[in-house]
């Protein structure tokens, strides 16, 4: 079965991947992923798996494929009335730094949709 396009929507504001945290416990060092990042990765993974089931894909995709992500952000409270108005009219886009938003999405994409190393192109539009 050939699938040309798999689309899925992840509700809510896009989130960046936070840096791993390191703590000292019982004479050792433990590194962990922050809970906020872990929850967001789980949400992305859930919607990717659901998209696979919708398209009846039971095995990883074995051919080269591309990823295109459109991230929509709310207008920051710090914007002036003028900039807020421009955003609402579509003349300016709200800007934020999703430093590693691509890492979270690409991780879920590789785990849930394709095998490692098969992503030939990756595009993020914000």
Check residue 85 and give its pLDDT: 92
| Confidence at 114, pLDDT banded by 50, 70, 90 | low
Residue 10 included in any domain: no
Residue 64 included in any domain: yes
CA pair distance 16, 39, nearest whole angstrom: 12
Residues 6+ apart with CB under 8 A from 124: 69, 71, 98, 101, 102, 105
Q: Which SS3 state, helix, strand or coil, does residue 32 take?
A: strand
Residue 61 included in any domain: yes
Q: Write out the two tokens for 8.
A: 């899925």
Q: What is the CA radius of gyration of the chain?
A: 18
Note the pLDDT tens digit of each residue in 21-44.
888 888 899 888 889 888 888 888
| Confidence at 4, pLDDT banded by 50, 70, 90 | low
Q: Which SS3 state, helix, strand or coil, does residue 29 take?
A: strand
Rounded to two decimals, the pTM is 0.68
Note the pLDDT tens digit of each residue in 41-84.
888 888 888 888 888 877 777 666 666 777 777 888 888 999 99
> Left (φ > 0), alpha (ψ -120 to 50) or beta: where does 32 sit?
beta
CATH number reported for the structural domain that contains residue 93 in this entry: 3.30.1330
The domain containing residue 74 runs over which residues? 21-125
Residue 12 included in any domain: no
Better-scored residue on pLDDT, 88 or 102: 88
């Amino acid at each position: 079965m050939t699938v040309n396009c798999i689309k899925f929507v992840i509700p809510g504001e896009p989130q960046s991947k936070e840096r791993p945290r390191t703590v000292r416990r019982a004479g050792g060092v433990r590194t962990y992923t922050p809970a906020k990042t872990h929850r967001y990765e789980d949400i992305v993974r859930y919607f990717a798996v659901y998209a696979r089931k919708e398209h009846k894909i039971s095995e990883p995709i074995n051919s080269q494929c591309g990823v295109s992500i459109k991230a929509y952000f709310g207008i920051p409270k710090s914007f002036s009335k003028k900039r807020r108005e421009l955003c609402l009219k579509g003349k300016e886009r709200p800007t934020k730094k999703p430093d590693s938003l691509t890492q979270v999405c690409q991780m879920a994409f590789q785990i849930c949709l394709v095998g490692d190393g098969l992503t030939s192109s990756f595009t993020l539009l914000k």
